[in-house]
Amino acid sequence: MEVPDYRGGGILNLMASVGAGLQGPDLGYPACALLNGKPLGAARRILLLVVDGLGWNHLTASAAGGELQSRCLGPLSSVAPPTTAAAIPVFLTGLPPARHGFTGWFTWLRELGCVSAVLPHVTRHGRLPLPAEPGPLPLSGCRPLFEQLPVESLVLSPKHIAGSVFNRAFSQGAKVHAYKDMKGFFHRLSALLRRGRERRYVYAYWPQLDTLAHDHGIGSRPVADHLAAFDQAFGRLLREIQGSDTVVLVTADHGFVDVPPERVLHLDAHPEMADCLSLPLCGEPRFAYCYVRAALRERFEAYVRSELAGRFDLFTGQALIDQGLFGPGPFHPELAHRVGDYVLVARENYVFKDRLSAEREFHHVGVHGGLSEDELRVPLVYAEV
């Protein structure tokens, strides 16, 4: 089992370096070791491009010698769990999950009395909109990094999420631009980086590789073709913005593993375990938070260690907090409640799922959220143009 690096080799440290390079606040974390000696503070423009789902191992194996891989400084660590809901807020606040409090796709929000899907900002059951107050920022207890920077900040997001409750909240302090497709994405990026003379920070998010990996698998032909097209478009962007005095940084929130159907375990097949739970499973299928009835904890532990042995490791949520798995403190006041009494951490490429009565059956071929090297390590691409 890999563990995240928050001491100089992770995306948290990348954001510490970006913040310092933009003369922003001291976020309180070590700088990114891979960027040692790089002139972030002198560049007129800084672009941070996050490619959702682009793991280090996948990039080096599938796109060797390409535009991205040839400029890669090395791997960075994502956070725990390595998933969009926990990692994207790191890019938007500069703070780890231990502080921003978003610890997985499904999160028990004790303040609202419901299990939520935090990024779409809806309830898990019925996908009903969460109350406007408290919104995502109060629930995180954090401020967006953009509104703490003394430079112009721009956010480039897909059209379908640019105006979402979550995106609007965490983009405060920045001007948001939207795009529809890859051509529009790179066209808008080129224009934003070439326009004007003022100092500027651009945060750009690309989600489609993640979508294709979920649907077809990270090792699939659709993913390979998509990455090849993105890699070529990235090279064209660098040529178009040549002379703009821009530092270009490309990284990701997580990587992937592919999961065959026979390695998908369902809670319905484990009724004795289900009887111990007081809430639906939260977090991720490879990093599941379990809320267990106090009187049944010994029974729950014994069942998991007997019936899931060799496929999942069992930890208490508090033990993982104490080990620093979610990052250094000070901790979010609700952190212990958001990671559950116990955490099931997958081995190899297993997943563990439950399904509420109103939810449709589905199978993701590519999955993330576990603590394998494939999921936890992401690339750091660097270019000066």
Alpha-carbon gap, residue 141 to 333, rounded angstroms: 9
Fold of 262-365: Gyrase A; domain 2 (3.30.1360)
Confidence of residue 63 (pLDDT cuts 50, 70, 90): confident
| Sequence ranges of the chain with CATH classification 3.30.1360.180 | 262-365
Residue carrying the six token digits 């042995």: 309
Closest CA to 355 of 269, 294, 287, 272: 269
Confidence check: pLDDT of 1 > 90: no
Alpha-carbon gap, residue 185 to 188, rounded angstroms: 5
Q: Are 177 and 192 in contact (CB under 8 A)?
A: yes
What mean pLDDT comes out for the span 164-183? 97
**C-alpha Rg value of the chain to the nearest Å:** 20
Alpha-carbon gap, residue 135 to 146, rounded angstroms: 18
Residue carrying the six token digits 């049944």: 296
Residue carrying the six token digits 């009565």: 357
How high is the pLDDT of residue 357?
86
Question: pLDDT tens across 324-345, in order?
Answer: 999 999 999 999 999 999 999 9
Confidence check: pLDDT of 81 > 90: yes
Closest CA to 79 of 379, 380, 375, 382: 375
Q: Is the pTM of this model over 0.85?
A: yes
How high is the pLDDT of residue 132?
85
Confidence of residue 363 (pLDDT cuts 50, 70, 90): confident
The two tokens of residue 261 are: 């159907």
The two tokens of residue 214 are: 């979920």
What mean pLDDT comes out for the span 280-301? 98
Confidence of residue 359 (pLDDT cuts 50, 70, 90): confident
> Which residues, 6+ apart, have CB-to-CB distance to 179 below 8 Å?
156, 157, 158, 159, 185, 187, 188
Question: pLDDT tens across 265-277, in order?
Answer: 999 999 999 999 9
| Sequence ranges of the chain with CATH classification 3.40.720.10 | 11-258+371-384
How high is the pLDDT of residue 37?
87
Confidence check: pLDDT of 8 > 90: yes
The two tokens of residue 246 are: 């821009």
Q: CATH number for 11-258+371-384: choose from 3.30.390.50, 3.40.50.300, 1.10.1130.10, 3.40.720.10.
A: 3.40.720.10
